[in-house]
Amino acid sequence: MGKLKVYADRMSQPSRAVLIFCRFNGIDFEEIKVDISKQHHLSLEFKEINPLQKVPAIVHGSLKLSESHAILVYLASAFPGIADHWFIEPLILHLYPKDLFRRAKINSVMDWHHSSLRHGAGTISYGHWKEHVCCKLLLTGRSTPPFAVNYATNTVLGPALGRPLNPKAAAEAEKVLLSSLSTLEDVWLNGDGHFLLGGLQPSLADLSMVCELMQLEVLDEKDRSRILSPYKKVLQWIEDTTYKNSNKSSL
């Protein structure tokens, strides 16, 4: 079928989730960098890969696919040796109804992510992120918790790019983020396991949302603490998912 090609910008949370999943699971792939800050995603060449002109996107043989959650589900199903805890293998669903139910719940969390948490979480200062977070995460497999899209854009990234501060937009984004963190704490992490939906091991939903919250790294310690410290389960979940274990039971 040919080598998997992943078109990504490491500043993009969905791109990071796909790259990390591939690396963690030993998928052989070629990373093709699409620099959003230089508008490479708007090129005619990339439009042939993804008409929506967004990252990430993949090419695998004759398949061209966009949208990070669809890509993650495809990768979990298409490549051999991917552990079932990421996303239950479709071929066994008819034998184990409980797995079908869990897969539906994972889909539910990932859909919630796009409609809520993603609106509160954001991009960061390109130089800081590229040097301090992305390289550390992708090269060592470890990271620390960061922030979210609209908030960081209107507090850190915008000024770094010469744009004026937008306190109103930042306040609105923070409100959405705090509401999303409350839902994470009280609903999705309300179980016996260390991961979303009471899971004993991370799923695609854990990976996708932890990558989102990694945006908070751009904030100073005081702001990060103010945002995250009230959510003890969320803090523990971030640690469990990112770097607590070194035996590949977590990231």
d(CA 31, CA 236): 31
Q: Hey, what CATH topology would domain 4-82 get?
A: Glutaredoxin (3.40.30)
Tokens of 154: 């209107």
Report the mean per-residue pLDDT for the chain.
79
pLDDT 10s digits, 194-213: 999 999 999 999 999 998 88
Distances (CA, A) of 179 to 13, 184, 187: 20, 9, 12
- Kind plus residue range of the DSSP H or E element containing 188: none
Quick one: angle between helices 13-24 and 68-78, nearest 10? 10
pLDDT 10s digits, 59-102: 999 999 999 999 999 999 999 999 988 987 666 555 555 677 88
φ/ψ of 121, rounded to 5, equals -100, 160
Looking at residue 33, its pLDDT comes to 98
Looking at residue 244, its pLDDT comes to 47
More confident residue, 168 or 17: 17
Residue 127 above 60 pLDDT? no
pLDDT 10s digits, 238-249: 999 986 444 454
Residue 39 above 50 pLDDT? yes
Rg, C-alpha atoms of the chain? 18
Share of the chain above pLDDT 70, in %: 73
Distances (CA, A) of 174 to 117, 138, 150, 167, 208: 10, 28, 8, 10, 20
pLDDT 10s digits, 171-197: 877 888 899 999 999 999 998 899 999
Order of all β-strands in the sheet with 4-8: 29-33, 4-8, 57-60, 63-66
More confident residue, 144 or 27: 27
More confident residue, 122 or 131: 122
Looking at residue 87, its pLDDT comes to 87
Mean pLDDT of 124-130: 34
More confident residue, 97 or 14: 14
Tokens of 88: 């239950």
Looking at residue 163, its pLDDT comes to 64
Looking at residue 25, its pLDDT comes to 94
Residue 135 above 70 pLDDT? no
Residue 134 above 60 pLDDT? no
- Residue ranges covered by each domain of the chain: 4-82, 117-242
Distances (CA, A) of 224 to 12, 120, 162, 166, 214: 20, 14, 23, 19, 11
Which positions ≥6 away from 181 have C-beta within 8 Å? 227, 228, 230, 231, 234
Mean pLDDT of 231-241: 95
